[in-house]
A = this chain, B = another copy of it.
Amino acid sequence: MGSTGVRIAIDAMGGDHAPREIVAGALRAREELGVEVLLVGNPQEIQCQLPPKTNLGQIEIVAAEEAITMEEEPLSAIRRKPKASINVAMDLVKQNKADAVVSAGHSGAAMAAALLRLGRLPGIDRPAIGAVFPTIVANKPVLILDVGANVDCRPKFLEQFAVMGSVYSQYVLGTPEPKVGLLNIGEEDSKGNDAAVRAHQMLRENSRISFIGNAEGRDVLSGRFDVIVCDGFVGNVLLKFAEAVGEVLLQIIREELPQGLHGQIGTAILKSNLKRIKQRVDHAEHGGALLLGVAGICIISHGSSQAPSIFNAIRMAKEAVDNQVLQQILYQYQSLQGETS
């Protein structure tokens, strides 16, 4: 595929399988998506991962002397290591040399680097991490945010998440009028803790989003909601639980389906249908989480990401760039501000 002009800075040193799987995913994205990839990290280690005779068109290796490990305290590490790969990747966006960042490294460090290097979008108090979950309705995903950036959330933050999430759902996921829900413990308006009750009221009164009420845990995958907002504590617990549950369920299918002669024959016949089930259930297919509210497109991949996840994360980044998510958030949020002030 020819170049689309979209340039993605990739933290080649971040993740359990870095740089091998990161580079492999990036090369595939270059081929299939036509993006330009900027591989940020130790040049020698990155070079070793390029297959012999790799065509180097649309690949740039950007040297970064250091990397942040999973064990480090994110904010201090980001400050102590200005030349860490994630910092250098963010700087590329800041300097307009790249359109987006993808990292499978320490997610807290990626957030800290984004905040310190790119800053927040005007009008946004706290960035949120959004994760796209599949639902029971095919091709109707739900965006959950925040899934880990903010352990305590004021109602105002949740309202901002709703606006940003609606933009993403509309412009990237293609939902005409995204239905927004507030994660809560009951359907009634008065349910939940103080923050939830106040957030419910604010969401209800916000004319820029289509708030349809509280979403209970059972509603998350129902397809009734396009965007669900929550604080980063409950969102993170839910995300990690959901990821693990998908794996548990696939494990059960793998164990039970091929049992016996009939099982082996039937499983062989169903190979392509089973692959579709895996695609609908497996979180690796969904690429990564997105950091919304900073002045740049940042996709945070799972630390365990292999090449297919990195490929999908790069696709997410490209779609966010193509659909001008930042500009739309800015526009929506600013006009919202204009109305309420």
- A contact patch SS: helix
Is there contact, CB below 8 Å, between B193 and A217? Answer: no
User: A256 and B241: CB pair below 8 A?
Assistant: no
Residues of the B chain whose Cβ atoms lie less than 8 Å from the Cβ of A238: 217, 237-238, 241
**How many residues on the A side are at the interface (Cβ–Cβ under 8 A)?**
61
Q: Are A148 and B185 in contact (CB under 8 A)?
A: yes
Partner of A216 from B219, B240, B251, B260 at Cβ < 8 Å:
B240
The answer to whether A270 and B263 have CB atoms under 8 Å apart is yes
Q: Contact check: which of B251, B258, B263, B277 meets A252 at CB < 8 Å?
A: B277
Bound Cα distance A192, B138 (Å):
34
User: Is there contact, CB below 8 Å, between A221 and B244?
Assistant: yes
Q: Complex formed: what's the CA distance from A109 to B136 in Å?
A: 32
Q: How far is the CB of A3 from chain B (nearest CB, A)?
A: 36
A residues 164-187 in Cβ contact with B at 8 Å: 183, 185
**Nearest B residue (CB) for A137:** B251
Say whether A206 faces chain B, with CB atoms less than 8 Å apart.
Answer: no
Q: Known contacts being A138-B255, A263-B273, A269-B265, is A217 close to B241, with CB within 8 Å?
A: yes
> In the assembled complex, how far is the CB of residue A230 from the closest CB belonging to chain B, in whole angstroms?
8
A240 to B241, CA, bound (A): 12
A4 within 8 A of B: no
A257-290 residues at the B interface, CB under 8 angstroms: 257-260, 262-263, 265-270, 272-274, 276-277, 280-281
A60 adjacent to chain B (CB < 8 Å): no
A216-B237, A217-B238, A217-B244 known; A262-B251 Cβ under 8 A: no
CB-contacts of A202-242 with B (<8 A) = 216-222, 230, 232-234, 236-242
A273-B276 Cα distance, complex, nearest whole Å = 19
Q: How far is the CB of A151 from chain B (nearest CB, A)?
A: 4
Q: A217-B237, A217-B240, A241-B242 are in contact. List 5 more A-B contacts (CB 8 A).
A: A136-B251, A257-B273, A262-B272, A265-B266, A265-B269
Q: Taking beta carbons and an 8 Å cutoff, which residues of A are in contact with B?
A: 135-136, 138, 148, 151-152, 183, 185, 192-194, 196, 216-222, 230, 232-234, 236-249, 251-253, 255-260, 262-263, 265-270, 272-274, 276-277, 280-281
